[in-house]
Amino acid sequence: MTSVPPPSSETAAGVQVREKLLLWSLAAINFTHIVDFMIMMPLGPELTRLFGISDAQFGLLVSAYSLAAGASGMSASTVIDRFERKRALLFLYAGFTLATLGCGLAPGYVSLMCSRVAAGVFGGVLGALVQTIVGDAIPFERRGRAMGVVMSAFSLSTVAGVPLSLWLATQGGWHLPFLAIAAASLVIGLVAVRSVPVLSQHLGQSAKRSAWVGMRQVFSEANHWRAFALSCLMMAGSFSIIPYITIYTTTNVGLRADQVPLIYLAGGVATLFTARLWGWMSDRWGKVATFRLVSALAVVPMMALTLLPPVPLWMVLVVTTAFFVFVSGRMVPGMALLTAAPQASMRGAFMSANGALQSVTMGVSAWLGGSLISRSPQGLVQGYERCGWLAAVTTLVLLWWVGQVRVHGGGASAQANQNQARA
């Protein structure tokens, strides 16, 4: 394992400062590419009107990013470990910044589509590489808290990124949010030049094997498949529910359209704080134990949300906030475990392949969730509880399956905890 190499004269406080700067830089990178992905969905009405396109054509704009991200993630798994981490990160982030700038300058549908594909190609690998760097630079004993900091970017994008982007769109048109993201990415990239250390110790082993041999090694390791299954199961249940929260709460629960943003605002604010808590618990109590606790607690809001009758707004916010807190919360110890599933020399390839599989799983789960629900003659959503049951069943499987993933670089305490989890 390659941790941030401190100079011999550097104090422990200095190491902590450098680690914090690194983690917040990585979180900022995550923030920009997450907002870049999320902002397309609320821009749908304006884009369909301005471009004169159908809902299906707009759907292609949204899915283009995910499909490109999945394809690039799988392709990157063959070569990513052959490059020094910092250089690869800066190259991908520069490509993402230029692609996002292209979105902001796009004059029409076709050019915007091409720019979205390019953004997905670069952005899709960024998330996996950020997690890889956390795995390389931060010791396993502190990796839960580190992952909590990096994963807080998801919450911040919901709380601040999307609302701010929408406000910019109302002030200066749909181009402006993308231009703002590109400008922010340029600044963050310059900070990353100074804050991200050179991480090259993985090159000793990875350079000895060809790209396809490396990919074969990633997919031939049984423990990697156990980790991939863990990752996909985390995505499967939640993404059968998430895409349909707005539809269900406005049709069946009785929320007004202008009340819907409160769901994401409340959930985002709460998870912004709880992500750090789950990280601290992961390092103190163990990743597996924390994952099981948070996952078990997630079952309650999963079922409550999909069975929610017409109730006051405050009750809706209690249920949806609990859903986001616990469903996203299990990602913190979960991703900490996933970064430790491969050997350091294959971590980049593994995380790239994992990101690609997650993208595919999210798409399939969203489709499956849509096939489980229907509309009554009155326009009400029927069968949403089936999505809840699906999520609950996958979560119960997760409680057992998480103990089957072997970790590397966790030291004696981590191995003892894992042996206890398997027992």
How many C-beta atoms surround the C-beta of residue 236 within 10 A? 23
List C-alpha distances in Å: 41 to 38, 60, 244, 414: 6, 11, 13, 41
- The predicted pLDDT at position 339 comes to 83
Residue 4 lies in a domain: no
Residue 2 lies in a domain: no
- Tens-digit pLDDT profile for residues 281-318: 998 999 999 999 999 999 999 999 999 999 999 999 99
Residue 7 lies in a domain: no
Angle at 186 between CA 182 and CA 192, to 5 degrees: 135
Query: Taking the CA of residue 2 as centre, how many other CA atoms within 13 Å lie in the half-sphere pointing to its CB?
Result: 20
Say if residues 120 and 69 touch (Cβ distance below 8 Å): yes
Distance in angstroms (rounded) separating the CA atoms of residues 40 and 136? 32
Give the CATH number for residue 317: 1.20.1250.20
Phi, psi of 401 (to 5 degrees): -65, -35
Name residue, tokens 């969905």: 41
Distance in angstroms (rounded) separating the CA atoms of residues 120 and 348? 18
Domain containing 177 equals 12-422
Residue 108 lies in a domain: yes
Residue 155 lies in a domain: yes
Segment of 124-133, 196-205, 382-391 carrying the highest mean pLDDT: 382-391
- Tens-digit pLDDT profile for residues 93-119: 999 999 999 999 999 999 999 999 999
Phi, psi of 255 (to 5 degrees): -70, 145
Distance in angstroms (rounded) separating the CA atoms of residues 224 and 405? 8
Pairing label, strands 374-375, 381-382: antiparallel
Residue 78 lies in a domain: yes
- Tens-digit pLDDT profile for residues 136-184: 888 877 777 787 778 777 667 766 776 777 778 878 889 999 999 999 9
Q: What is the DSSP code string of 274-332?
A: HHHHHHHHHHHH-HHHHHHHHHHHHHHHHHHHHT--S--HHHHHHHHHHHHHHHHHTHH
Residue 417 lies in a domain: yes
Give the total number of structural domains in the chain.
1
Strand partners, 375: 381
Residue 6 lies in a domain: no
The verdict on pTM exceeding 0.85 is: no
